[in-house]
Amino acid sequence: MHWNVWSSRRYGQVKSSSTCGISLHGTNRKSTLRTSQNCSGMGRVLALHAAGEPAPVVDIRCDPEASAAFLDRVQIEQVVFNLVRNAIEAMSSGVRRVLTLSTKLTTDRMTEISVADTGPGVSADIRARLFEPFVTTKESGLGIGLSICRVIVEAHGGKLTAEDNPAGGAIFRFTIPN
């Protein structure tokens, strides 16, 4: 499977601070995540979600040092899809709608993928329980999406966290080993 950012251009503005992206290569579920020069990434995720509502500005920032990680492609796609969908939903009533997707190599040589939004953010009391099953801030949410994401990320040897975005909103970060 290969996601292309061009798909999201129809639904919103894509801004890239460097020419890079996320390509999920291979026919096996266990694949290598690679950043590449052709700015591929979250287009299909955005295209699937953006039908019927304006998509946010998308800012993609990739660290060339975070070049590869071994992972279960389908599971990590599900984590990214859920985090992006949540971010877009969180910004649905906002005037300023910026979705930032980024990768970087951490000091302990893990690949960190972050999804930041400019929505209302998550209160500290909810954030403390956010990754537990059946905890939700949505009227119609079941509260299992982030719990499942946490399990997937931890099964890969990583960690999923949430924090305040200094620009307003929230940042969800997860790590996976290289």
Quick: pLDDT tens for 31-79: 445 533 323 355 444 544 555 566 788 888 888 888 777 788 889 989 9
Three-state secondary structure call for residue 47: helix
* Total structural domains within the chain: 1
What sign does the CA torsion over 119, 101, 104, 77 have?
A: positive
> Considering the domain boundaries, does residue 1 fall inside one?
no
**Across-strand partners of 100?**
59, 116
Quick: pLDDT tens for 107-128: 998 999 999 999 999 988 888 8
> Considering the domain boundaries, does residue 90 fall inside one?
yes
Q: Between the CA of residue 5 and those of 2, 9, 41, what are the distances in Å? A: 10, 7, 5
> Considering the domain boundaries, does residue 162 fall inside one?
yes
Look up the pTM and report it: 0.77
In terms of residue numbers, what domain contains 137?
A: 6-177
CB 161 within 8 A of CB 122: no
> Considering the domain boundaries, does residue 124 fall inside one?
yes
CATH code: domain of residue 20: 3.30.565.10
